[in-house]
Amino acid sequence: MRHMAKGKSEPLDDLCRRFNRKTKDGRKMDAVSTLLQDAIKSIINVKEEEDISSFFSSGETTFRSGGFSGLEDFELICFMVVM
């Protein structure tokens, strides 16, 4: 995403119009919300796998150190649409 956004300082109007048309100007965000939930589940799964791996390795463990439990542990501050 960083590579795709490099050098861009303004949104691409055509893509914004397409996104707004597809989401009814943000009123129908079900598909986008599902993608966000899937991304958060993936983050949680990776963290859990790292915690379990650290438990069985030498050194300090991150197992049971709090971590993430769900959507409420995250705050969306911005997003980038790639079409």
Is 41 part of a structural domain of the chain?
Answer: yes
Task: Please give the pLDDT value at position 80.
Answer: 76
Task: Give backbone dihedrals phi and psi of 52, rounded to 5 degrees, phi first.
Answer: -65, -40
| pLDDT given for residue 18 in this prediction | 93
Higher-scoring residue by pLDDT: 39, 76: 39
Domain-located, residue 21: yes
Q: Within a domain: residue 70?
A: no
What range does the domain containing 26 cover? 11-57
Q: Is residue 18 part of a domain?
A: yes
Q: What is the pTM of this model?
A: 0.58
In a domain, 43, yes or no: yes
Amino acid 68: pLDDT: 65
- Looking at the predicted structure, is the pLDDT value of residue 1 above 70? yes
More confident position, 27 or 76? 27
Is 27 part of a structural domain of the chain?
Answer: yes
The reply to whether 33 falls in a domain is yes
Question: Into how many domains does the chain fold?
Answer: 1
Long-range pairs for 34-42: beta carbons < 8 A, 24 or more residues apart:
36/76, 36/79, 37/71, 40/68, 40/70, 40/71, 40/74
pLDDT digits (tens, 9 = 90+) for 15-74: 899 999 999 999 999 998 898 889 888 888 887 777 666 666 665 655 555 566 667 777
